[in-house]
Amino acid sequence: MNPEVLKACVVPGQPQPLMVPEQNEGWMKLRRAYDEMAKEIKEANPDVLIIYSTKWLSVIGHQIQARKNPEWTHVDDEWHEYGEVEYSFNIDSELAHQVNEACHDRGLHTRTVDYHGFPIDTGSIVALKLLNPDNKIPAIILSSNIYADRTETVVLAKSIIDALKKSGKKAVAIASTALSNRYHDQMIDPKEDRIHSLKDHEWNLKMLEFFEQGRLEDVSQLSRQIQQEARVHKVTNFKPFWWLSTMMGQTNYLEGKIFEYQPLYGMGGALVSLTPSDRSFGDLEYDEADPENFQGDRNVLKSEGTDSDESEDTGGKE
Amino acid sequence: MGNGRIIAGCLAPHPPHLVYGENPPQNEPKSECGWETLRWGYEELRERIPKDEYDVIIVHSPHWRTYIGTHILAIPEAKSISVDPIFPNLFRFHYDLKVDVDLAKSIYSEAVGKKLDMKLMENPKFRVDYGTIVSCHLANPDWDKPIVSISSNAAAKYFNVEYMQELQTHLGDATRVAIEKSGKRALLLASNSLSHRHFTIEPPIPEDMSKEHIYHHGQYLWDMRMIEMMKKGQTREMIDLLPDFTQQATAETDGGSLTWLMSALQYPKYPAKIHAYGTVIGTGNAVASWKPEVGGPA
Ligand SMILES: [Fe+2]
């Protein structure tokens, strides 16, 4: 258990609950679930919200939003007809820089971003608008590196815990992600929305069953299989629960609460919170490694005798 | 109307590094130099296709990725700052562009007629993607021609590359028919890199060319194979091979831009002019052009 993290939350990153909840009963239920979750977060009284967004992709390691007050008028690339969202967020720039340093200490390549007009992703915008409507709680946002796999993702979370320890701040960790992520690839009448396939729905129910029992680490351990079964392979792997579970101390000693589960244009949209608890289904012996540091990409195809410049490619301490 | 035509089609990759290396006044970050081979390739492309030869630029961009159908920019003008979400240190570009909405709507209608799922983008606050901006800037830095920007559908990820190619083939046909009906002379840009595995770290000086090379030799071999086919006019064969290439070289052709272009040009049998090949943070990029009037009929 990491006492620095008061609660873990799972939220979907699609814009419907924020922008057009009235178009579908399920989207409206998700919207109400956001409102309810916002209350629960407020009651937990964190110093900071830490968002890992699967909709913010990066290539040069992970990026960390560090602009104190990013402001913009955002239009979604896909659902531009929903209109625009004006935002003005409260970012904990100091913690963002501390996280960046802590990542470097563990061998990760990360950088902060602090630019006017930087395109904050729809998932982060939806989470901050709905979970922190008055902007009272400062936040930081982390990207999802398209090339990262488990080690980088686990070490990223451990680095954040290092930074939280140093700062003395208490956080709520938020993973902005769908469960199953297959959209309807054709335009639908919003009223007709449903999970894209029964198989996706069944996998979502399995994840929700685990969440309800507080078994976040079990979901984390299952991530590779979920990626195979219920995810379109847009990126290397299904990473958000590696991150979220590590933020919580890689444990099943959690109290799970399902706020809502509904289709979002075919995908599985769920709002879930997990709070430290004595009640548990127990921690088992797990197959996945528990890395402490990132050693760099392993260039498995690298031939012998490659010149020393190549070590640049590996991106970490050899 | 009628008698519109495609005066040229280009493979016009969009790494923001090329604009950064060029230092136009619109881009906030400034460089010392960088990626000259590719930038000079674009210079040659601009000489080969001077802007008095075309009325409009149509760009197909992998960085406007849409999951539900194909979207087309349909607002008369767009002015904002484009900040690259991946390389914000290199690309913060103030753009001010005009859109040929009539042609955009006509491509939309032709594509709908072919039963493609299409959506017009009519929100004036929409931010144009950086793939569109980089390719258009490098093809015409004066920005004095209207553009049409077409999104890339994620069908390759949701289904497979073959399905994506089927879709882009119809979209390319629809684009050509709309151009012909419009009476306009169009320059087409497929805004994609070839092999697309990046380094995940950046040198302290991003334009330090001593650090720039292909990520992996296998990618290079695949890129050369594709370029050879372009040079020999074997574009049909190239498109047949594209699913393998896309998978083996993690190529950015998954977005469909090159397939769309080849379909619109009706699979040229005449050679492409290769203006440059170079790498950008490990990815393979070629600047190439096909000019039907020079090359002869497809
Ligand atoms: Fe790209």
What's the domain range around B267?
5-295
Predicted confidence (pLDDT) at residue A237 exceeds the cutoff of 90: no
SS (H, E, C) chain B: CCCCEEEEEEECCCCHHHHHHHCCCCECCCCCCCCHHHHHHHHHHHHHCCHHHCCEEEEEEEEEEECCCEEEECCCEEEEEEECCCCCCCCEEEEEEEECHHHHHHHHHHHHHCCCCEEEECCCCCCCCHHHHHHHHHHCCCCCCCEEEEEEECHHHHCCHHHHHHHHHHHHHHHHHHHHHHCCEEEEEECCCCCCCCCCCCCCCCCCHHHCCCCCHHHHHHHHHHHHHHHHCCHHHHHHHHHHHHHHCCCHHHHCHHHHHHHHCCCCCCCCEEEEEEEECCEEEEEEEECHHHHCCC
What's the total number of domains in chain B?
1
- ipTM for the assembly: 0.94
The closest of A67, A122, A69, A123 to A96, measured between CA atoms, is A67
Size of interface A-B (CB pairs under 8 A): 108
- What is the per-residue pLDDT for A299? 57
Domain with residue B33: its CATH number is 3.40.830.10
- What is the per-residue pLDDT for A301? 47
Residues of B near A (CB-CB distance < 8 A)?
64-69, 71, 80-83, 85-89, 92, 117, 119, 121-123, 125-127, 129, 151, 153-155, 157-158, 198-203, 210-211, 215-216, 218, 281-282
Predicted confidence (pLDDT) at residue A309 exceeds the cutoff of 60: no
Residues of A near B (CB-CB distance < 8 A)?
56-61, 73, 75, 77-78, 80-81, 83-84, 109, 111, 113, 115-119, 121, 145, 147, 182-187, 232-234, 265, 297, 301, 309, 312-313, 315
Domain annotation covers residue A73? yes
The partner residue sitting opposite B86, judged by closest CB among A58, A116, A265, is: A58
Predicted confidence (pLDDT) at residue A58 exceeds the cutoff of 80: yes
Supply the mean pLDDT for chain B.
96
Q: Tell me what the mean pLDDT of segment B150-163 comes to.
A: 89
Q: Tell me what the mean pLDDT of segment A160-174 comes to.
A: 98
The CA-atom distances, in angstroms, between B127 and each of A89, B20, B139, B192 are 19, 20, 20, 19
- B229, B274 contact by CB (below 8 A): no
- B107, B36 contact by CB (below 8 A): no
Query: Mutate which of B27, B65, B67, B95 to disrupt the A interface (most A C-beta within 10 Å)?
Result: B67
Considering only CB atoms, which chain A residues are within 8 Å of B69? 185-187
Other beta carbons within 10 Å of A289 = 9
d(CA A198, CA A204): 10
Q: What is the pLDDT of residues B56-65, one digit of tens each?
A: 999 999 999 9
Supply the mean pLDDT for chain A.
90
- What is the per-residue pLDDT for B250? 92
d(CA A32, CA A25): 11
Domain annotation covers residue A198? yes
What's the domain range around A70?
5-276
Q: Which is it for strands A62-65 and B92-98: parallel, antiparallel or unpaired?
A: unpaired
- What is the per-residue pLDDT for B103? 98
d(CA B31, CA B15): 15
Domain annotation covers residue A303? no
Predicted confidence (pLDDT) at residue A308 exceeds the cutoff of 80: no
Domain with residue A156: its CATH number is 3.40.830.10
Residue that the structure tokens 């640049």 belong to: A312
d(CA B153, CA B64): 8
- What is the per-residue pLDDT for B296? 64
Helix (H, G, I), strand (E, B) or coil at A281: coil
Confidence grade of residue B149 (pLDDT, cut at 50, 70, 90)? very high
- What is the per-residue pLDDT for A233? 73
Q: What is the pLDDT of residues A88-112, one digit of tens each?
A: 999 999 999 999 999 999 999 999 9
Domain annotation covers residue A140? yes
- What is the per-residue pLDDT for A307? 38
Q: What is the pLDDT of residues A190-215, one digit of tens each?
A: 999 999 999 999 999 999 999 999 99
Domain annotation covers residue A14? yes
Q: What's the whole-model pTM score?
A: 0.93
Q: Tell me what the mean pLDDT of segment A259-283 comes to.
A: 91
Confidence grade of residue B233 (pLDDT, cut at 50, 70, 90)? very high
Q: Tell me what the mean pLDDT of segment A38-53 comes to.
A: 98
Confidence grade of residue B293 (pLDDT, cut at 50, 70, 90)? confident
Q: What is the pLDDT of residues B83-110, one digit of tens each?
A: 999 999 999 999 999 999 999 999 999 9
Predicted confidence (pLDDT) at residue A55 exceeds the cutoff of 70: yes
Domain annotation covers residue A260? yes
- A4, A169 contact by CB (below 8 A): yes
Helix (H, G, I), strand (E, B) or coil at A42: helix
- What is the per-residue pLDDT for A298? 60
Q: Tell me what the mean pLDDT of segment A238-260 comes to.
A: 95
Q: Tell me what the mean pLDDT of segment A151-180 comes to.
A: 96
Read off the DSSP letter of residue A280.
-
Confidence grade of residue A304 (pLDDT, cut at 50, 70, 90)? very low
Domain annotation covers residue A92? yes
Predicted confidence (pLDDT) at residue B240 exceeds the cutoff of 60: yes
Q: Tell me what the mean pLDDT of segment A82-86 comes to.
A: 97
Q: Tell me what the mean pLDDT of segment B186-213 comes to.
A: 95
Confidence grade of residue B155 (pLDDT, cut at 50, 70, 90)? confident
Domain annotation covers residue A138? yes
Strand segments (E) across chain A: 5-11, 48-58, 62-65, 71-74, 85-88, 110-113, 139-145, 171-176, 254-264, 267-276
- What is the per-residue pLDDT for A310? 34
